[in-house]
Structure 1
Amino acid sequence: MLEYAIFAVTFVLALLIAVIYLYPGSSKPTSIPGLEPTTKEDGNLTDISRAGSLHEFLIDLHKKFGNIVSFWMGQTFVVSIASPELFKEHQGVFDRPPLKDLKKQIIEVIKERKKNRPKTGEEILIDIILEKTEDEEIQLSDSIAFVVGGFHTTANLLTWAFYFLASHQDVQQKLYEEIQSVLGKEDVDHTNIGELVYLRQVQDETLRCAVVAPWAARFQDFDSELGGHKIPKNVSLFWGLFFVFDPDRFSPENTKKRPALAFSPFGFAGKRICPGYRFSYAEASVCMVTLLKKFKVHMVEGQVVIPVHGLVTHPADEIWITISKR
């Protein structure tokens, strides 16, 4: 009888342990509302895939649970916030994961440029960076900043800007009139770019509508409290930046009424803003002004544009426009 009782207890304990291990039950370290893991191994990755992208998944999650939510990326517990008030409240020391592939490629380019220095007049951007500092970490960081800001993000900003201008001829005409009024026959440069107020409004509205940078991710190595909930250390925390194309919403009058941190496409004022944001605006401005002074842009009839939300939002297929000489 005793042997049977021992066997029964052992069997029940083993069964309980197996159920706990195999069943993806709750192991949330906080009271934050959100999803339970679909499976122990994948967490909510299947839900993210089903939504179409992380951006679309987070939109649905915040609609359902509110401004602070939780979910699982594999076996990693993740918190996402989506309100200016919570962005402001969430402060601390953070570390972003490295862009490994890009970093590796740039290191190889730096080595090659150091080995084969170009002739005077044949320098490219990375050669200028190498001339300004011998600190290898700064060389690498500056190169990554300019590559990401000057190619990936800005290129997609320009793609969407010309799409919106082609599909909103009234906005394009108003922008052209500002360019003519401010610049006349002059080129845009650092002395007059600040006078192109409506151009900046068009760029900001493009960033808002296209959600070029849909979210940011931060990692905290300390315990904190946010929105009345405990945030344990070693939790990844997402900042959701995504919550009719109308550049006038960014007019000086409307900007004064906007809550702090309600629109932060390049990060947040102070130490957390993208160091290349001025470069990105300037680069996009030169391109837009140069083309719009000479040409009108039009949509190709019947074209359907579908956004794909990733690290940077881009169209599923190429956006085609036609141009006509002014």
Structure 2
Amino acid sequence: MLDFAIFAVTFVIILVGAVLYLYPSSRSASGIPGLNPTEEKDGNLQDIVNRGSLHEFLASLHGQFGPVASFWFGGRPVVSLGSVDQLRQHINPNRTTDSFETMLKSLLGYQSGTGGGATEAVMRKKLYESAVNNTLEKNFPMLLKLVEELVGKWQSFPKDQHTPLCAHLLGLAMKAVTQLALGDRFRNDAEVIGFRKNHEAIWSEIGKGYLDGSMEKSSIRKEHYESALAEMETVLMSVAKDRKGQRSQTAFVDTLLQSNLTERQVMEDSMVFTLAGCVITANLCIWAVHFLSTSEEVQEKLHQELEDVLGSEPVSLDKIPQLRYFQQVLNETVRTAKLTPIAARLQENEGKVDQHIIPKETLVIYALGVVLQDADTWSRPYKFDPDRFTEDSARKSFSLLGFSGNQACPELRFAYTVATVVLSTVVRQLKLHQVKGQVVEARSELVSTPKDDTWITVSRRS
């Protein structure tokens, strides 16, 4: 998901009409096979809208033209890569320190760095990771308590009662991320409710309104978004002011405040972590619990690993790396759900993929949702099968795409920790069951989210 350069800022600028390049006379993007623009002004935008999402459009595009294909955003040609081999060719010589943070900050209108170049970017990334690691270490008991409270609630339900995963796990993510990132002010439910209201207003427009241009067509929606963003920024600035100089260094924001970042930069980094952290954490947990409900065998393997690694002890931060099957389950959840289906970067210098030349400053999309279910890379790609990650080739492909290893973004690593605590607590006490007749479909936006709430039933372990 997650180690890619500025896709969003270019997309947004095009959508609001500030086309960066004159419409070229050629109808092909540097000779790369693909679609001609259907409209002079918008390129293939209407084709994307007709498909329902950029991911669905890319799946169709690559199905028609192969792993390297082109289309148009406004007057600008775009190249999309839809297989592991082609991504490997492009990533290896073009790896930069830009990340999911860069894309999200671009959408929010923030600066992605301080202008200090690659060295400055690396230092900022290390600071960000240190802040995440510190808050997990200092607050792990709190995280465990929040999860145990939720599982206790599920445990009290009658056997056949439907449990709404989206509602419950988004609520858990909101509580966990706000308290761990911003401190004890968010132990107050009223503060969390206010945060959630603004978060939903902001994320709904980032995830959809910008990507289909619809927000720009509605002054009411745009005003609502801008109001929510301004209110959220005010809250985050207030949190930073209140916590500055205090002795207790337990929250994500505390680590940022101990650095040489400006108040504005601290606020922006806190915004990115809380916005992305809540959505990624919630949806990783939702999809993981949903997929577990479809496989009693996987649940039992997880339960056995808990017995082998933890015995009767609760999960702890130092034991999580030993829960290897849990890691496989979460990897397979990300893959099967296409947790982040789109990423991109600008081509810094002229490059080549296969026989195709990609000119400098071309927008290159990584069609991750297509790649994650490519039958040439993954056997039985639509089947939820954590055992596939026992194979070295699967782990290497997954890491290449930025979903594991050093290239995974801090928000995803945070989400993996929370999800491991959730799954370990649930599986130890409960069995998960599907709701018969339920059809679970995803909205493929910046983060894959179920279209409707997803339901399960639970029963106590004997």
- 1:279 corresponds to: 414
Select which of 212, 233, 247 maps to 2:386: 247
1:171/1:267 CA distance change after superposition, 3 Å? closer
Matches within 5 A, 1:173-252: 173-242=300-369, 243=371, 244-251=383-390
How far apart, in 2, do the equivalents of 1:121 and 1:25 lie? 63
Query: Is 2:31 the partner of 1:46?
Result: no
Deviation at 1:24, TM superposition (A): 10
Query: Is 2:107 the partner of 1:99?
Result: yes
How far apart, in 2, do the equivalents of 1:51 and 1:147 lie? 31
1:278/1:268 CA distance change after superposition, 3 Å? closer
Deviation at 1:220, TM superposition (A): 2.4
How far apart, in 2, do the equivalents of 1:233 and 1:245 lie? 39
Structure with max Cα Rg: 1
TM-score, normalised with respect to structure 1: 0.81
- 2:13 corresponds to: none
Q: Secondary structure at the match of 2:409?
A: coil
How far apart, in 1, do the equivalents of 2:433 and 2:327 lie? 21
Tell me which amino acid in the other structure corresponds to 1:298: H
Deviation at 1:277, TM superposition (A): 3.7
Deviation at 1:323, TM superposition (A): 1.7
How far apart, in 1, do the equivalents of 2:307 and 2:231 lie? 42
Q: Which moved more, 1:283-292 or 1:137-146?
A: 137-146
How far apart, in 2, do the equivalents of 1:216 and 1:185 lie? 41
Matches within 5 A, 1:1-326: 26-90=26-90, 91-92=93-94, 96-97=102-103, 98-100=106-108, 107-117=233-243, 125-136=251-262, 139-140=266-267, 142-242=269-369, 243=371, 244-251=383-390, 254=391, 256-258=392-394, 260-261=396-397, 264=400, 266-267=402-403, 272-326=407-461
Consecutive unaligned residues in structure 2, runs of 5 or more: 1-22, 109-201, 204-228, 372-382
Tell me which amino acid in the other structure corresponds to 2:342: W
Tell me which amino acid in the other structure corresponds to 2:429: K
Deviation at 1:239, TM superposition (A): 1.0
Deviation at 1:148, TM superposition (A): 4.6
TM-score, normalised with respect to structure 2: 0.59
Q: Secondary structure at the match of 1:37?
A: coil
- 2:257–2:266 contact (8 Å) kept in structure 1: no
Consecutive unaligned residues in structure 1, runs of 5 or more: 1-22
* Residues 252-279 of structure 1 deviation map (CA, whole Å, 9 limit, x = unaligned): xx1x244843565545765x54244432
How far apart, in 1, do the equivalents of 2:279 and 2:438 lie? 23
Q: Secondary structure at the match of 1:261?
A: helix
Larger strand percent: 1
- 2:29–2:70 contact (8 Å) kept in structure 1: no
Larger helix percent: 2
Deviation at 1:204, TM superposition (A): 0.8
1:115/1:56 CA distance change after superposition, 3 Å? same
How far apart, in 1, do the equivalents of 2:412 and 2:26 lie? 41
Sequence identity percentage: 37
- 2:42–2:75 contact (8 Å) kept in structure 1: yes
How far apart, in 2, do the equivalents of 1:286 and 1:237 lie? 36
- 1:150–1:283 contact (8 Å) kept in structure 2: no
How far apart, in 2, do the equivalents of 1:85 and 1:105 lie? 44
1:121/1:299 CA distance change after superposition, 3 Å? farther
